[in-house]
Chain A
Amino acid sequence: MFESLSDRLGSVFKKLKGQGKLSEKNIQDGLKEVRLALLEADVHYKVVKTLIAAIKERAVGQEVLESLTPGQQVVKIVNEELTNLMGGANEEINLGGGHPASIMLVGLQGSGKTTTAGKLAVYLRGQGRKPYLVPADVYRPAAIEQLTKIGKELSIPVYPSDTDSKPEKIAELARIKCAQEGCDTMILDTAGRLHIDDELMAELGRIKATTPPSDILLVADAMTGQDAVNMAKAFNDAMDVGGVILTKMDGDARGGAALSIRSITGKPIKFIGTGEKSNAFEAFHPNRMASRILGMGDVMTLIEKA
């Protein structure tokens, strides 16, 4: 739907070829295009501002390389800045601390927590762990049935929660049951909630207090817009999350929310969800994400060859 950044920069920089140095003046139009591309990818307005300043600082004064057009050169700088900001690749899940280990999934309504719980269980089983699914969403109609069905399909044991219990109580009892079932890793599915719902945010705190998790993962939708910063900041402030899982990456969303979330929380994106099935789950690669946000996977290979 959107023109790729490299196409746009190509035309902006046509006249720049062979002009020697990149200067504040001659890259101004290029930076405008970069800004537009980032905003169209849903990177938060303020994050874009900071990024543009950093890119400008790096670009100004650089010689225009023989091997690259000025457009490619700016794209290269932008891509590197984005990749850096997004942090290191392949941040693993933290399974240290208590026995059993426990991972808590939190996030807005419909972001993909329950589905991701199943995916995580399969992933951890592949790593030789014995996962135990714990439905702690007592609000959404049929949420417990949903996770129970997922567990059954995947042959992974599920704690028999009921909607009359408090989520923190479920977590506490499930911990004992997990060990009895011969499992070593609890995956706690919590109800979707708004980050401004103080009551439900406090509930997350109580679950955390009764069952200190090895890792708390914020499950966020890749299609999220500008509000990703508010959501991520609030969840992180309340829960001190250990990382992020970005879902629904199988669509055509640019996924600029990844950059917003990373830059506001400083927490790594650990995995991405790429479909509804339990194997549609992959490690996160900052460089791929950067290219996707800019809509230019192709150009980077060109630059790498140059």
Chain B
Amino acid sequence: AKTRDVLNTPIEDFFITKTELTEDSLEELEETLITADMGVNTVMDLMEPVAEKVNKKQITNSKELRAALTDAMLDLIKPVHENKELPNKKPLVIMVVGVNGVGKTTTIGKLAANFKKQGKKVMLVAADTFRAAAVEQLEIWAERAGVQIVRHRDNSDPAAVAYDGVAAAEARGMDVVIIDTAGRLHTQVNLMEELKKIRRSCHKSLPGSPHETWLVIDANTGQNAVSQAKLFHEAIGVTGMILTKVDGTAKGGIVVSICHDMDVPIRYIGLGEKAEDLREFEAREFIKALF
């Protein structure tokens, strides 16, 4: 039993009760978008043409307003969202990165279960050798999903684990390899260098890998997520994003801002702590929940 909205006025009400547009309705809308963490600049960029249409009476009621805004946001998210077919590689090597505690390891557990369900042979690689019991956590997920795992001792070199993991996956005929990495803040230069090293050692083990690098973003994150996306992308080239903890009250609007600035598709959203709580990202549905 989850009771939504502790403090927010549901925007649905706003659209139902206020059909006539006033100055206030635009401000209220702006407030809703900002409180969804979309960021002031993105909100202003989106609202400006819409507000102009309101002024020119091209938009006169809230239904039209909603449609116009939805379209504007779809334009931002959709183009980057298209072309989401995964490269056809065997094994397909996916590296998962992100700041501390966003949900990388859990998401890998969910992905493993998901790929397994599609009949794929999956291997997990425990390249977070730093955080206490990170390996044990991933082992439990591997066991739950019924997939294999490659691990080394605690505090061993993550690049070496990645090398062995990819090599083992190739030798054992795996379809998908997912590499878990330690959480790190994007501003920690040494740790970002370590990610580059992990990439290089994947490439040494299997040229061209990792084929995909997925950045996990916590829906609770505010404007800092823009900096996260930028710096991870600059360091190692991000090919997809996963938005977690969408089952809470935070809207995750920050991903709209990220799409505003860079060209990376959002692949999945996380909706809970269980293996099945993973969905493919649906732009329209996501936008609908935003305002």
Contact = CB atoms under 8 A, between A and B. Distances in A.
B137 A142 contact: yes
B101 A256 contact: no
B42 to A, nearest CB: 11
Contact of A108 (B4, B34, B220, B230): B220
Interface stretch (A6-14, A37-45, A56-64): A37-45
B1 A225 contact: no
A198 interface: yes
A276 to B, nearest CB: 7
Contact of B222 (A140, A147, A148, A253): A253
A112 B218 CA distance: 14
Contact of A196 (B227, B248, B273): B248
Given A223-B222, A227-B220, A198 B248 contact: no
18 contacts: A45-B35, A109-B101, A111-B101, A145-B133, A146-B133, A150-B132, A196-B2, A198-B2, A225-B222, A227-B220, A227-B248, A229-B7, A233-B7, A248-B99, A252-B185, A252-B186, A253-B223, A276-B131
A298 B250 CA distance: 33
Given A42-B222, A226-B36, A139 B273 contact: yes
A59 B246 CA distance: 41
B67 interface: no
B8 interface: yes
A197 B34 contact: no
Contacts of A111: 101
A224 B220 CA distance: 5
Q: Which has the most chain B C-beta neighbours within 10 Å: A44, A45, A139, A227?
A: A227
Interface in A28-57: 36, 39-42, 44-45
B82 interface: no
B245 A153 contact: no
B214 interface: no
A215 B137 CA distance: 29
A143 B249 CA distance: 24
Nearest to A43: B222
Nearest to A42: B222
B99 A109 contact: no
A288 B5 CA distance: 32
